Structure 1
Amino acid sequence: MWLIAVFICLGWILSVCIHEFGHAVVAYLGGDKSVKDKGYLTLNPLKYTHPVYSLLLPILFLLMGGIALPGGAVYINHRRLRSRWWKSAVSAAGPFASIVVTILLTIPFGLGWATPSVEHWIWPSLAFLVLLEIASVLLNLLPIPPLDGYGIIEPWLPRKTQIKLNKFSKYGIWILFALLWYVQPLNQLFWNWTYTISDFLGISPQMAGHGYYLFRQQSNILILGLVGCLWLFRRKEVGWYNRGEKLRKSQRYEEAIASYEAAIKIQPKYSEAWYAKASLLYQLQRYEEALVAYEKIIQIQPEEAHAWFVRGWILGELQQYDQAIASYDKAIEIEENLDEVWFYRAKTLEKWKRYEDAIASYDKAIQIKPNYPDAWYNKACCYALLGNVSTAIETLKHAINFNPEQLREKAKTDSSFDAIRENQLFKNLWHHN
């Protein structure tokens, strides 16, 4: 009966939606409000960024007898999350949502509705779906990049370790599948865990196995249908965007920009392509062109605080200070608790020689992130430039305590302290440290 394959595939799609919704809603609570503008706070699978990689290909692997791990469908701006705890929580939210789905799917078995004596295709199909959910959760919780298990621990790893491990993120999932496919002891261990948990939840391996048998019998026609869907879902703009990303990694920047522009020509409101183009122009210090691109992003997503923030930074570099401050203020209006925005707003005011206003902005950054060494340091510079020696030195002490190696040496030659360098209190600071 073809309904079996349809039932399992639709159940899987719904579970993927709930998994990704879990990531998105926790990211929203943690400070990344952009997920709302991107349409991720929904269970509508059409809102996902990559319907092919996030939904269709996993289902195709499922139909071919593999495990359909959810593809990364939501883009989280981790810079906007308020702390490492929130970053870990965002990664944990997806597997947690999948666990909830798994438990809900076992309710009919716990109530005794689904017993071997009850002859109906839905119960073995549901048992097989539960088995897939358990397998998915177990795999997702492994501490291997780019899986969610790694995402949970990543914020707590040293930065150098993160950089090294992230280099393997695009290969991690394929290495894992190769190990499970070719190394039989690992494969057997994994499925033993899966069946043990399944049995604990009241799902007999025999019933789940029968569901898999029924599913495989009816899956061939759906495989052909999904291949057709893959073709229909093919988006040329995504192809150009992906080409741009590869060219960028190869440092072929002009060709990358041309590819992003080709994607934008097909889909003028393709915000990811605009972002990629804008950030690359920014990286190349082509600030006026980058400014145009960020302003286009703002037209598409007016509540995108990060775009307003980078626009402000670029305007500051172009010495258009009043417009830069207005852009920072708009970012703050959208999302007040962004320490980075307050910090760079203060730096712009400092360049503008509005030192008292800069100090007030540095204070806001420090209020949000108390151990912000650069904010403490720049605040000390402003006090020194105002001639407030004692406060400058006390503030500088705080900065050096947070980052002694770098900031102690920097302060020794920083021109901001030239006016107080011969002051005995300043000299005592170095003897004290």
Structure 2
Amino acid sequence: MTTPAKRLPFVLLQVANFAGASANSMTFIAIPWLVLELTGSALSTGIVAALAAIPAIVMSPLAGLLIDRVGRAKISILSDVLSGLSVLMIPFVAMTGRLDLWVVAGATLLGAIFDPTGYTARKTLIEPTAKASGVSLARANSLHEALFALGFALGPALGAALIGVVGTIMSFAVITVFFGVAVIAVWVIPSAATMVPGDGPDQPGAWWRDAIEGFRVIRADTTLLVVTAFIVFVDFVYKPTEVVILPTYFQSIDNPWGFGVVISAMALGGVIGAYSYARLAARFALRTIVLTCAIAASTLLFGLAFFPPVWVMGIFGFAVGMCWGPMGPLLNTLVQTHCRPSVQGRVFGAQMALFASGPPLGMVIVGGLVEGFGVAVVYPLVVAAVFLFALALLGVRQLAGIDRPRPPD
């Protein structure tokens, strides 16, 4: 029987996971709000937001290398310390009376460098803390992704509440406290619970060659490559709809409340879907889960594509989130069971770089299509593309190897 004390390493990681996710998502509300207060310019807000997308693409492979070389817990702690300092810089500079757009842009850029590193490092801590705590890998991944999704969903509401209660500037000081909680939680995890057999660096080579090792590992494992490529495609094609298509539609009917309902419903469904992964993994093969989640989620998207009443969109949005939710913990499980521990940081980092690279280009393309043809034409076409790609997975033979773990080290 696993005692509460034995579960402490995994519990502490989840405290850090929830705190870090909440802090990051609170900044997504606080930063644009502050830029608008300072400049009143939507263009400036967009430029600052774009800055946040670049470091994740460039830095994630290097972050993975640092995790594998320096250590999972050390990089998690260091990343959250630096993320907290980048946020704290805003109220500190504001006290001097020198806060302007350049300071906010600099703080955003610094945060965007460190935030993905901390997120990736915490992912690599799932397996060792779960084993030390007597928690199954499937349940650990399920809880980790569900709590991350919950923190990410609640963060914007918390951020908005902070702005209303303590003001925009001081809200960043409170966000720093959340990063501090994440730091302390990982700091007190026993070091033995942050490592697994096979940890430790491979024979080091040139740093740039080692940094891209994660991409080579993904390419060499055809199953991992197929699942990663599918999620990259979904991020490229569908993610821009949440930033371009849905806001454009709801703005055209002057219904911001409806937009919030749909996005919140999808987020809540995602939390429940991620939490359900452990039970699904105990009953079904991973290949079955991948195919079912992909096809079911893409089919349900048609319920949104033709813009029914808001309450109907909310129901379909919740169902889409719930069907897609298990994919996050499943992808974690796939990396943990197919990749040796010494490269997992780089594999997670490579995946993050790939996932971050698609949406910016997709936003430009989808935005241009919406400008030319309107949301009523573009949204069904986007959903159809995702649906056809999901159906194509049925014919991919490489998915047969998804349930075969790596050989023992």
**TM-score, normalised by the number of residues in structure 1:** 0.27
Compare CA radii of gyration and give the structure with the larger one: 1
Identify, as 1 or 2, the structure richer in helix. Answer: 2
